């Protein structure tokens, strides 16, 4: 039994040491929790803890428990937890008298095996709770902040990183740029996307695809943004491909686009490298939606914009040679312009008067299925010459039609003008 109790004592001291070394827990909280754990065991063992003094020394990693009892005449002890007979008291100190208070050190083994095990479990549980609370409190107000952390392990669905204090941070695969590849031990940068705390178990979620990641990096690179002379209104982004950023200057002497891009792109080069070649377009913000749409569709030259503010839709008219620029490769340019402005954008070609012999697609319903005609209308082609002016590859890319269907439509429309 003595060996068992000695082992339990060691276990408790180890738990105490672990508690003592816990990070980000203030001294007052540490001592309070330890005392709380000890008092709960005392109550279970002796029925009350009112006459006990607990001295916790977190610096040394030890503790002392003293029981205070009143000296009463021999044979008159009614509650041995609160009173001690004169003869027993004088075995401790031979000058005790009736009515005095005896403070006696309680041996650790006096708790009993079950109580000691309970104390160890309670202490370990409270350590974990405090660590979780500390981690959550440390990060809950840091959402939107960029952090650099060490890659610890990579799995199929997520990557585990450790901050400077060894706290675990998660970077899900869905929050990674498609071309991201991490090696254990290297540092990775990301923005703190959200802090969850399900059932008191905090999860710090990072992101490299969040538009805020690009915004925070640009803020760090551009002194004018830090000084409040330029503000970032909106960031639209397709991770790993392209991003558009709308900025505004509060100083007429400062060109917001030039300041953000830097001489020969010097201020965005580092960001582009971090994003593995993701192109960044910076445009000047405008409260006028039509102007903002025109700027967002750059490098295309827009002739006019008609807004439907209720439905948040915009019809944009361009010369035929500008349509492909407005749409962009894979439709990226028009998608980002829509994200940046908050409007669904449809582009239309403006036909010269010389094309008065053009024919509406609706005139071909005898030869072309109506649903096929609607597919062309959805992407801004309403006449035969609209379709014929575009390349076969672009039509295949922009519609959901089969190649054979595209070829058949082109042959039908071309025959109209032969």
Domain boundaries, the chain: 2-137, 143-209, 212-349, 353-416
The C-alpha angle 140, 145, 148, rounded to 5 degrees, equals 105
Topology annotation, domain 212-349: GMP Synthetase; Chain A, domain 3 (3.30.300)
Residue length of the chain: 418
- Ranges of H-type helices in 68-210: 86-92, 113-139
| The pLDDT of residue 397 | 83
Whether the pLDDT of residue 12 is over 80: the answer is no
Give me the residue label for tokens 């609370």: 133
Beta-strand runs (E) in 58-186: 62-72, 83-85, 101-105, 146-154, 158-162, 168-172
The model's pLDDT over 45-79, given as tens digits with 9 standing for 90+, comes to 778 888 988 887 766 656 788 889 999 998 888 98
| The pLDDT of residue 26 | 65
How is residue 285 written in tokens? 């913000």
Least confident of 15-24, 82-91, 222-231, 391-400: 15-24
CA separation, residue 169 to residues 173, 181, 260, 329 (Å): 13, 17, 31, 36
- Average of per-residue pLDDT across 152-172: 94
| The pLDDT of residue 27 | 67
Q: Measuring CA to CA, which residue among 252, 355, 248 is closest to residue 295?
A: 248
The CATH number of domain 143-209 is 2.40.50.140: yes
- Average of per-residue pLDDT across 182-207: 94
| The pLDDT of residue 92 | 87
Which residues are 147's β-sheet partners?
A: 190
What is the four-CA torsion angle of 389, 394, 398, 403, rounded to 10 degrees? 100
Topology annotation, domain 2-137: N Utilization Substance Protein A; Chain:P; domain 4 (3.30.1480)
Phi, psi angles (nearest 5°) of residue 64: -140, 145
Regarding pTM above 0.85, the answer is: no
Of the ranges 108-117, 290-299, 383-392, the best mean pLDDT one: 290-299
Whether the pLDDT of residue 353 is over 60: the answer is no
Contact 307, 292 (CB under 8 A): no
Q: Measuring CA to CA, which residue among 344, 350, 249 is closest to residue 300?
A: 350
Of the ranges 19-23, 49-53, 67-71, 338-342, the best mean pLDDT one: 338-342
Per cent of the chain over pLDDT 70 is 90
Task: Return the higher-pLDDT residue of 221 and 112.
Answer: 221
Whether the pLDDT of residue 355 is over 70: the answer is no
Q: Measuring CA to CA, which residue among 214, 209, 204 is closest to residue 180?
A: 209
Whether the pLDDT of residue 15 is over 60: the answer is no
| The pLDDT of residue 57 | 72
Average pLDDT, the chain: 86
């Amino acid at each position: 039994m003595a060996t068992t109790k000695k082992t339990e004592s060691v276990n408790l001291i180890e738990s105490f040491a672990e508690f003592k070394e816990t990070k980000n827990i203030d001294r007052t909280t540490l001592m309070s929790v330890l005392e709380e754990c000890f008092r709960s065991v005392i109550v279970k063992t002796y029925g009350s803890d009112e006459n006990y003094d607990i001295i916790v020394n977190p610096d040394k990693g030890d503790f002392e428990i003293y029981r205070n009892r009143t000296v009463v005449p021999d044979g008159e002890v009614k509650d041995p937890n609160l009173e001690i007979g004169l003869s027993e008291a004088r075995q401790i100190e031979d000058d005790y008298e009736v009515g005095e208070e005896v403070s006696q050190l309680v041996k650790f083994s006096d708790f009993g095996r079950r109580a000691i095990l309970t104390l160890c479990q309670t202490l370990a549980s409270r350590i974990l709770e405090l660590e979780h609370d500390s981690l959550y409190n440390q990060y809950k107000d840091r959402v939107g902040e960029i952090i650099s952390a060490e890659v610890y392990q990579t799995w199929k669905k997520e990557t585990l990183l450790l901050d400077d204090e060894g706290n675990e941070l998660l970077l899900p695969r869905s929050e990674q740029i498609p071309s991201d590849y991490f090696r254990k031990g290297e540092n990775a940068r990301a923005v703190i996307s959200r802090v969850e705390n399900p059932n008191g178990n905090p999860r710090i979620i990072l992101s490299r695809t969040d538009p805020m990641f690009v915004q925070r990096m640009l803020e760090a690179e551009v002194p004018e943004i830090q000084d409040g002379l330029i503000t970032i209104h909106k960031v639209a982004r397709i991770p790993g491909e392209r991003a558009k950023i709308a900025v505004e200057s509060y100083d007429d002497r400062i060109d917001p686009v030039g300041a953000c891009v830097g001489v020969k792109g010097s201020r965005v080069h580092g960001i582009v490298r971090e994003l593995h070649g993701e192109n960044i377009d910076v445009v000047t913000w405008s409260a006028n939606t039509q102007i903002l749409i025109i700027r967002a569709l750059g490098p295309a030259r827009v002739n006019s914009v008609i807004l439907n503010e209720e439905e948040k839709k915009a019809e944009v008219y361009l010369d035929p040679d500008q349509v492909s620029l407005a749409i962009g490769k894979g439709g990226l340019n028009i998608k980002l312009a829509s994200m940046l402005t908050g409007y669904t954008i449809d582009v239309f070609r403006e036909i010269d008067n010389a094309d008065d012999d053009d024919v509406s697609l609706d005139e071909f319903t005898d030869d072309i299925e109506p649903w096929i005609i609607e597919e062309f209308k959805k992407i801004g082609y309403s006449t035969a010459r609209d379709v014929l002016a575009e390349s076969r590859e672009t039509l295949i890319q922009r519609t959901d039609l089969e190649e054979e269907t595209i070829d058949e439509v082109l042959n039908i429309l071309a025959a109209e003008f032969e």
